Structure 1
Amino acid sequence: MYLLEMAPKFLVALIILLIYVKLSGKSQIAPMSQLDQVGSMVIGALVGGTLLNANVSAWESAGAVAIWAGLLILVRFIKSKNSKLRDAIDGEPIQLVKNGNLLSENFIKANLPVRDFETLINIQGICAFNELKQVWYELNGSLTIIKKGDKDIAVLVIENGAISQDNLEQLHKSETWLKHEIKKQGYKDIKEIFCAEWFDDKLLVYPYDDVRKSKSESKK
């Protein structure tokens, strides 16, 4: 009898979770930030708590999960449209090694003991700090590592039609320079570009689908 009473709650909660996973994307399976991780944990706690509480109806259970899931999706949407707000919410990757030098202050900022850092790089087959050229501590706790002798990683300078000012400053480039480079490649406006990255002393541009299709048709 108890299982029959719980069945509607399980069904409604499952439907809400399926919708949430569909709308929020695969990053909820492999969280990209602390907010993603905590948000998913709260979703699990809400589902478990309301399902096991006999005083909470199926619709009340679904409502609690739907409100929280909706808030997370809204924050994710806002972050995708505003890089500065995204950085304010999620924070930014912290550089731990620069040009072979360990940045001790950034280890403190990241709250990462050097012994734990050593373990993380050993797991990736790196035997000594001397092998490292650049290392960033990412938002999800993973490390991005460039060893001595490797090429530097690409730097994103345009994201979702907007300029990444912090990355431009990192490259010692100006907004005027970027707009000039975009026009040299046949684009009129930054808003036509889905994303662009600086790699190996080249600007690699990836326009939105409709812009790319329009350019392809005009060449025929």
Structure 2
Amino acid sequence: MVESIVVKVLVGMLGVLFFLRISGKTQMAQLTPLDSVNAFVLGALVGGVVYNPDLSAWYMVLALGVWTVFNLLIRFLLRFKHLRRLIKGDTVMIVQGGKINLKEFRRNGLEMEQFRTMLRENGIFSMFEVDEVRFETNGRLTVSRRGDRLQSYLLVNNGAVLESSLRSAGQTAEWLAENLRKLGYDTPSDLFCVEWTPSQGFYIQPKNEPDAATGAVSDPVETVCN
């Protein structure tokens, strides 16, 4: 009995470590909804087998194997924009220019006192200090104070255009496509990431090239950064 529990615990620990390596999650400090589901399911799978004397360690190996394959399938589906938003959620701007976006504020189930507590955790004690606030997919706030340097916007992530970031930047998909063409890129789907900083321009990393390229909106000449 004791030997069986020890074997199951060891198999469970190794199985969870293998799962984390395969899924690419090296730390659990920032949990997305998908990561939270994984944590609950992994705990139930390992605990259910460890404390059930009728189930051998092979049941745990089978369960972890099936869950790992299923998880890899979900992560493949995250490449598609609409499914990514459905599964993982999206960063939303809940304060812009010092004004609260009540629609997004309420849609995410926030209350003002709860929001003020989260601001205090970021060292901000008055709305007069706030310029922009993003509500991240892990439930945390990213806050820009009044007078801070201009923010950057991630407009393309692994080939997918992030429409919410475009709206936050006050730009459109047509504007993005036009500027990418000026820099020599025909389609966002070939790009690993595109970041835009209003004062500096674009930072672009193609999927199949080791070097990143940058170019300012006002100057279409491309500069390669090694």
| TM bracket, shorter-chain basis | 0.7 to 0.9
Give matches, 1:4-43, under 5 Å.
4-26=3-25, 29-43=28-42
Cα distance, 1:209 vs structure 2: 4.6
Corresponding pairs, count: 211
Where 2:154 maps in the other structure, the secondary structure is strand
Give matches, 1:166-177, under 5 Å.
166-177=164-175
**Amino acid of the residue matched to residue 4 of structure 2?**
E
Cα distance, 1:189 vs structure 2: 4.2
Is the contact between residue 28 and residue 37 of structure 1 (CA under 8 Å) also seen in structure 2? no
Q: Deviations over 1:193-217 (max 9, x none)?
A: 211011124122122353649xxxx
Classify 1:77/1:200 alpha carbon distance in 2 versus 1 (closer, same or farther; 3 Å).
Answer: same
Where 1:197 maps in the other structure, the secondary structure is strand
TM-score normalised by length of structure 1 = 0.83
More helix by share: 1
| Partner residue, 2:138 | 140
| Partner residue, 1:210 | 209
What CA RMSD, in Å, does the superposition of the two structures yield over aligned residues?
2.4
| Partner residue, 1:198 | 196
| Partner residue, 2:118 | 120
Classify 1:178/1:30 alpha carbon distance in 2 versus 1 (closer, same or farther; 3 Å).
Answer: same
Q: Deviations over 1:152-196 (max 9, x none)?
A: 422122221233344334444444433332233344543432110
| Partner residue, 1:56 | 55
| Partner residue, 2:222 | none
Classify 1:95/1:170 alpha carbon distance in 2 versus 1 (closer, same or farther; 3 Å).
Answer: closer
Cα distance, 1:106 vs structure 2: 3.0
| Partner residue, 1:162 | 160
Deviates further, 173-182 or 65-74: 173-182
Q: Deviations over 1:53-100 (max 9, x none)?
A: 101111112212222233223212221x11221111222233321211
Classify 1:68/1:31 alpha carbon distance in 2 versus 1 (closer, same or farther; 3 Å).
Answer: farther
Where 1:61 maps in the other structure, the secondary structure is helix
Where 1:26 maps in the other structure, the secondary structure is coil
- Equivalent-residue separation in structure 1 for 2:105 and 2:174 (angstroms): 35
Deviates further, 134-143 or 159-168: 159-168
Is the contact between residue 153 and residue 199 of structure 1 (CA under 8 Å) also seen in structure 2? yes
Structure 2, unpaired ranges of 5+: 213-226
- Equivalent-residue separation in structure 1 for 2:107 and 2:185 (angstroms): 40
- Equivalent-residue separation in structure 2 for 1:175 and 1:117 (angstroms): 31
Classify 1:28/1:37 alpha carbon distance in 2 versus 1 (closer, same or farther; 3 Å).
Answer: farther
Of all paired residues, the percent bearing the same amino acid is 30
- Equivalent-residue separation in structure 2 for 1:174 and 1:116 (angstroms): 33
- Equivalent-residue separation in structure 1 for 2:186 and 2:105 (angstroms): 42
Q: Deviations over 1:10-47 (max 9, x none)?
A: 33323321210101123652344112112212211211
TM-score normalised by length of structure 2 = 0.81
Classify 1:97/1:203 alpha carbon distance in 2 versus 1 (closer, same or farther; 3 Å).
Answer: same
Where 1:125 maps in the other structure, the secondary structure is coil
| Partner residue, 2:223 | none
